[in-house]
Structure 1
């Protein structure tokens, strides 16, 4: 999809996202930070995101904000309770002072979670044994589905109270909402299982509940997996149907299109080098030895190339009537960004590139020809068990 020269979208222009105006079309993608050991905002967390805000992004995404203690996916994440609001307000004030908008990623880990972190047995649409963690998730009841929906709405309301400009509903990577979309995990025989219409019901209800609760007080985004690289799981044909349903409902302002899962074949999301030694170093026995022996078959190996999600993501452009689209994956230059905008996307999101160079967007504005220095070694993947950072920039992990 291309537009005339007069109407051509450009990266560094003001743009509307629902009720919010962003200074440009760039978004710092959610990358779980691990800087909230007590489930609350810390000065270190604020400084971490200030680097992206002062570095030029239109909006930065605070990740990961669990809607309930059972929803944690890794250590050091935010827990969305009223006690967290004062710190969250300090966070949004700091981002606004840097002329950037702030989004809160809201999620429930479901089968991605672990009892070691949450203190509870993980939940999934049906009983499910994770091929990575070997944890058995229990199937949840309809009443628990309704409770989880309310928790998303409660968390969104708290985010608005704390001054966030947007909330991002995590419907990707086989977290709890995404797990309902996957026939590999979802074996239910009630109204939440079986057909793609039934499997999409939970995410539609979450989006509706959030919209009813916060209205136009903030933009509402959702992160949706297009495919996850797992046989019998999320396929492009079905994710297109889910996206069309969400679009027709009209509760979302934008969809960030993603790939992969945090349950199995995790490298399908990241592509590039498989950091086996790093993962093993972050594990205790017997998982350390297991990762060394079976890490590549479990994580998968997928070659990296620039704009690697564009091929699937462009299938969604003509399907959306009400919902803007955010392109993610392998964006490392201004040319990459403009390619996405010329294809019909409204925003571009960057993760690893900004972990290495938080000021990359601002420098691109001054030097349009530069390319980010991220080499996709993926050492940042295993830092999620501590403080997420680029392994080439250890000072950023400690001092920001």
Structure 2
């Protein structure tokens, strides 16, 4: 970490980002992870050749591990029907995917979760669950307030999905506890005003997230690595604060239910650009949506798609507090695109770094950075890749 070494007062030397590292029971060839970004390449909720190639390319390009996103643990937990959900029928395709990645020498993780109020109920053909119910602008339907029975089912579904992931050959699972998906929505005081055992004080609001992580640990033991993606802040008034997030992270650390945390921020429901810093074109974001969502986004998009200028390591300042107060391995994401940023992350005590958008434009960026420390990413942070998730995520600048 950042503390003094055992010998006394000299700080521990920062590791080389390209040196091998351990993540729980997993040994990675370096410390660079491809972050989960929805691929839009599973129209029948099953693995396709396009999805396999999407992950094979950055794996061949040098990342230590690529992360398949986003896999619902139950059908209504998808953000959209054209999205993977974990079930036995998906197993053959998942095995083909993991084998293809392993052939490159990289590891492969799968992100598991329940989209909750971010789910498109109209697309899924099933009500979206949320802490409180209410209108869902994603699918223009009403959410259904999750019952305790619903939540027990979701917890068990995470355990079953994790066990299936291990059977499919994945090296790690990442639990989605961020971006106001279901577990994250329960953490938010703004979205969760329940008065039962899942609402009120932070320990109650964190119950779902903690139960999910505990159930997955029981299901997997130490067979494969377990990580979680956790919001440091929702980036909205009345949402999860860094102080509360740090407490949740401390509870996860104390329980030993995860091997590392990926620190993220923002709300897919209320403020998505808090994470995706850089340019934003409301017109381009609205184009893939059917009416009347398209018109609504065109008219009101600026209240939802806010401007956050890009800068390197844009989540570092917030993440440093977590690094100071936790011993759990941490993954830094947000503006990690060059050797200087990676070295800074290592110096500050982060065990891993994650990148996503830059790898869309250059799947071989990691290999290029290793060969040439002065190399620079060609990603210009225009965010034109984000609306492509509905037609197969890619960088439009290389079409």
Normalised-by-shorter TM-score class? over 0.9
Q: Mark the CA change 1:13 to 1:237 in structure 2 (over 3 Å): closer, same or farther.
A: same
Out of 363, 366, 371, the position equivalent to 1:361 is 366
Aligned to 1:210: 216
Aligned to 1:343: 348
**What is the CA distance between 1:223 and its match in structure 2?**
0.3
| In structure 1, C-alpha distance between the alignment counterparts of 2:14 and 2:129, rounded to whole Å | 45
| In structure 1, C-alpha distance between the alignment counterparts of 2:274 and 2:104, rounded to whole Å | 34
1:262-281 matches, within 5 Å, as: 262-281=268-287
Kindly indicate whether residue 377 of structure 2 is the aligned counterpart of residue 388 of structure 1.
no
Which has the larger displacement, 224-233 or 19-28?
A: 224-233
**What is the CA distance between 1:309 and its match in structure 2?**
0.4
Unaligned runs of 5+ in 2: 5-9
**What is the CA distance between 1:131 and its match in structure 2?**
5.6
* 1:220–1:254 CA contact under 8 A, matched in 2: yes
* 2:119–2:138 CA contact under 8 A, matched in 1: no
Q: Secondary structure, in 3 states, of the residue corresponding to 2:219?
A: helix
**What is the CA distance between 1:289 and its match in structure 2?**
2.0
Q: Secondary structure, in 3 states, of the residue corresponding to 2:250?
A: helix
Kindly indicate whether residue 297 of structure 2 is the aligned counterpart of residue 297 of structure 1.
no
* 1:35–1:42 CA contact under 8 A, matched in 2: yes
1:111-126 matches, within 5 Å, as: 111-126=117-132
**What is the CA distance between 1:331 and its match in structure 2?**
0.9
| In structure 1, C-alpha distance between the alignment counterparts of 2:322 and 2:13, rounded to whole Å | 21
Out of 184, 188, 192, the position equivalent to 1:182 is 188
Aligned to 1:78: 84
Kindly indicate whether residue 103 of structure 2 is the aligned counterpart of residue 97 of structure 1.
yes
| In structure 2, C-alpha distance between the alignment counterparts of 1:11 and 1:63, rounded to whole Å | 24
* 1:111–1:128 CA contact under 8 A, matched in 2: no
Q: Secondary structure, in 3 states, of the residue corresponding to 2:18?
A: coil
Question: What TM-score do the two structures reach when normalised by structure 2?
Answer: 0.96
Out of 160, 167, 192, the position equivalent to 1:161 is 167
Aligned to 1:87: 93
Q: Mark the CA change 1:132 to 1:92 in structure 2 (over 3 Å): closer, same or farther.
A: closer
**What is the CA distance between 1:134 and its match in structure 2?**
4.9
* 1:2–1:343 CA contact under 8 A, matched in 2: no
| In structure 2, C-alpha distance between the alignment counterparts of 1:298 and 1:384, rounded to whole Å | 18
The one-character-per-residue Cα deviations of 1:29-80 (angstroms, maximum 9, x if unpaired) are: 0000011111111111111111010000000001111101101113432110
| In structure 1, C-alpha distance between the alignment counterparts of 2:386 and 2:117, rounded to whole Å | 19
Q: Secondary structure, in 3 states, of the residue corresponding to 2:156?
A: helix
Unaligned runs of 5+ in 1: 395-400
Aligned to 1:129: 135
Aligned to 1:398: none
Q: Secondary structure, in 3 states, of the residue corresponding to 2:354?
A: strand
| In structure 2, C-alpha distance between the alignment counterparts of 1:360 and 1:250, rounded to whole Å | 34
Kindly indicate whether residue 332 of structure 2 is the aligned counterpart of residue 332 of structure 1.
no
| In structure 1, C-alpha distance between the alignment counterparts of 2:359 and 2:95, rounded to whole Å | 24
Number of residues paired by the alignment? Answer: 393
The one-character-per-residue Cα deviations of 1:68-97 (angstroms, maximum 9, x if unpaired) are: 110111343211001111111111111111
Kindly indicate whether residue 31 of structure 2 is the aligned counterpart of residue 25 of structure 1.
yes
1:367-378 matches, within 5 Å, as: 367-378=372-383
**Cα RMSD (Å) of the superposition?**
1.4
